Amino acid sequence: MPVEDAAASRRPVRAVSRYSSTFPEFLEASYIERYHLLCKRLIQEQLYTAASTLSSTLSSPRTAIKDGMFNTNEDMTSLSTFVTTFAGHIAAASAR
């Protein structure tokens, strides 16, 4: 999931919902932090085998469109982990 490194995506956002509660870690978190937490949770809950956020802390500058430069926050949600896991799924499917 690519996220642009912009001031608006790094700024904490209030979570207001009249119909459901919000997880504490999402309160006052920026959009970048929320995307990263979502990817981590999807992996930890074993809903996804891999998820990646391409990202300064977790995002890519707009120039990444041209030069392909990006950063990752941690190994669990890195692009290399995602690609390696995906390749493993392809190899397993082709072996069947």
pLDDT in tens, 20-47: 888 888 888 988 888 889 989 999 999 9
- Enter the pTM of the model: 0.65
Q: Give the model's pLDDT for residue 42.
A: 92
Count the alpha carbons within 13 Å of 90 in the hemisphere toward its beta carbon. Answer: 6
Q: Give the helix/strand (H/E) hosting 9.
A: helix 7-10
For the chain, the domain total comes to: 1
Exposure string over 24-37, b if 16+ CB within 10 A, otherwise e = eeeeebbbbbbbbb
Q: Tokens for 69?
A: 């430069």
What is the torsional sign of CA 70, 53, 19, 15? Answer: negative
Considering the domain boundaries, does residue 2 fall inside one? no
Considering the domain boundaries, does residue 1 fall inside one? no
